[in-house]
Structure 1
Amino acid sequence: MTAFNDYLKALREQKSLDIGTVAKRIGVHRHTQSNYEGHRDPPIDYLIEFAEVVDVPFTDILKKRLDDSKATEQAKNNALDSLNSVKSNDNTLDDIYARNNDLLQVKLSEVSHTSIPVDATVYIDTKDKSIAPGSMYGFLSPMNGCYFAAKLAITDTKLKLLFDSTERKDTEFNIEDGSTESHYILKTLGLLGKVVKAEIVF
């Protein structure tokens, strides 16, 4: 059993939850939950659900996983620095998801799309996270706290972020659990909502 697996078990026990209860809430088999507390490395979608069940910030779980990583110390330190750069202010993902405001005004600081360059100000409908063909969506990168925009495409098996830029490659994710899995992938990526307006400074 690794230190990270021990950590997951300790979090469950601190909440006085049994293995069966946690497995049911997350949607995995009891045997799978037992393996995640024993020796098996859990996938990202499981860890997102687990963090919610035990009511622990997802970044805390990621930091603990880094402690148990076999990556080089330099790579681990860089990853930790990236996680620490997500500040505890109004720009954190949890705060943004909790807002009631319809429109969020942000300045893009990452290469996004040829039609919306870096430094453009965009207005995002945070209540509209439905995926519509051809629509642009705003994201807050959980790794560096920077905003970017991308189009989304989804099929039964794949989710794609489309940038239409020579400076940034499209990103593709395999989805096996339909809308539930795509929802958690998008939340992990920092989906804020649909872009409804962009102001570009010439």
Structure 2
Amino acid sequence: MAAFNDYLKSLREQKALDIGTVAKRIGVHRHTQSNYEGHRDPPIDYLVDFAEVVGVSFAEILKKRLDYSKANKEAAKKAISSLNTVNSTDNTVSDNSLKYKTSSELLQVKLGELSHTAVPMDSTIYIDTCNKNVTPGAMYGFLNPMTGCYFAAKLVLTDAQLKLVFDNAKRKDAEFNIEGGSNELHYVLKTLGLLGRIIKAELIF
């Protein structure tokens, strides 16, 4: 894991950022940041935020983590190959091709994963990335950080649980226990790749 820790350190240094600055932006203690660059295995929610701070795709950091892991070489190679394959398929919208409507600041993307039954596969969805409040019955767009593909789901939030509702026989709903309040909820949604609320969706033939 030391090689991966060194990789994180090199990404920070390439951006000319000191440990304290990165720690503050991510919301961790300076000592914690130092440990993640030294010997400690950083959690996924931290890596999501770190990728954003240093301007590197989360998928790229995941590839490095797999490359430097103690996993069986064949398994790691297969996982990395899978990430590369998914990122190059036609149903994935690359970061360079994302379109913003300047008038309404909507993000326009194409769904590449099975989603809620109300939004068919291959639909083009328009997302208000500024609206990330969990509203009952509203549909939200997500970017799967593991595959690089977009999907849509409804969110149900209670005092102790967050649920992604797909209402789809081919895709099970996902449930997450929220024990740390709004701070933990924020990290769960970020790790899931929440982009924002879907304003409209259309299927172009």
**Is the counterpart of residue 91 in structure 1 residue 99 in structure 2?**
no
Q: Residues 94, 62 of structure 1: CA spacing in aligned structure 2 closer, same or farther, 3 A cutoff?
A: farther
User: Displacement, 1:75?
Assistant: 3.0
Conserved in 2, the CA contact under 8 Å of 1:104 and 1:126?
Answer: no
Q: Residues 200, 99 of structure 1: CA spacing in aligned structure 2 closer, same or farther, 3 A cutoff?
A: closer
- For 1:172, the aligned partner's letter is E
- The residue that corresponds to 1:131 in the other structure is 134
Q: Residues 131, 199 of structure 1: CA spacing in aligned structure 2 closer, same or farther, 3 A cutoff?
A: same
Q: What is the CA deviation profile of residues 86-117 of structure 1, one whole-angstrom value per residue up to 9, with x for unaligned ones?
A: 259992357649664536363x4433234444
**Is the counterpart of residue 167 in structure 1 residue 170 in structure 2?**
yes
Q: What is the CA deviation profile of residues 63-92 of structure 1, one whole-angstrom value per residue up to 9, with x for unaligned ones?
A: 211111222334323332343232599923
The separation in 2 between residues aligned to 1:75 and 1:20, in whole angstroms, is 36
The CA RMSD measured in Å over matched residues stands at 3.4
**Identical amino acids, percent of aligned pairs:** 62
The separation in 2 between residues aligned to 1:22 and 1:197, in whole angstroms, is 36
The separation in 2 between residues aligned to 1:88 and 1:168, in whole angstroms, is 21
TM-score (norm 2): 0.74
Comparing 133-142 and 189-198, the one that deviates more? 189-198
User: Displacement, 1:118?
Assistant: 3.5
The separation in 1 between residues aligned to 2:99 and 2:163, in whole angstroms, is 21
- The residue that corresponds to 1:112 in the other structure is 115
The separation in 2 between residues aligned to 1:140 and 1:134, in whole angstroms, is 20
Q: Residues 176, 33 of structure 1: CA spacing in aligned structure 2 closer, same or farther, 3 A cutoff?
A: farther
Give the 5 Å matches for 1:27-66. Answer: 27-66=27-66
Q: Residues 64, 199 of structure 1: CA spacing in aligned structure 2 closer, same or farther, 3 A cutoff?
A: closer
- For 2:140, the aligned partner's letter is Y
Structure 2: 5+ residue runs without aligned partners?
Answer: none
The separation in 1 between residues aligned to 2:141 and 2:173, in whole angstroms, is 15
User: Displacement, 1:175?
Assistant: 4.6
Count of aligned pairs between the two proteins: 199
- For 1:48, the aligned partner's letter is V
The separation in 2 between residues aligned to 1:103 and 1:30, in whole angstroms, is 34
Q: Residues 198, 10 of structure 1: CA spacing in aligned structure 2 closer, same or farther, 3 A cutoff?
A: closer
Conserved in 2, the CA contact under 8 Å of 1:151 and 1:161?
Answer: yes
TM-score (norm 1): 0.75
Conserved in 2, the CA contact under 8 Å of 1:97 and 1:126?
Answer: no
Conserved in 2, the CA contact under 8 Å of 1:112 and 1:163?
Answer: yes
- The residue that corresponds to 2:14 in the other structure is 14
- For 1:143, the aligned partner's letter is M
The separation in 2 between residues aligned to 1:136 and 1:195, in whole angstroms, is 6
Q: What is the CA deviation profile of residues 5-48 of structure 1, one whole-angstrom value per residue up to 9, with x for unaligned ones?
A: 11122223334433333222322122212221221100112112
The separation in 1 between residues aligned to 2:97 and 2:189, in whole angstroms, is 16
Q: Residues 157, 39 of structure 1: CA spacing in aligned structure 2 closer, same or farther, 3 A cutoff?
A: farther
Please point out which of 141, 147, 150 is paired with 1:147: 150
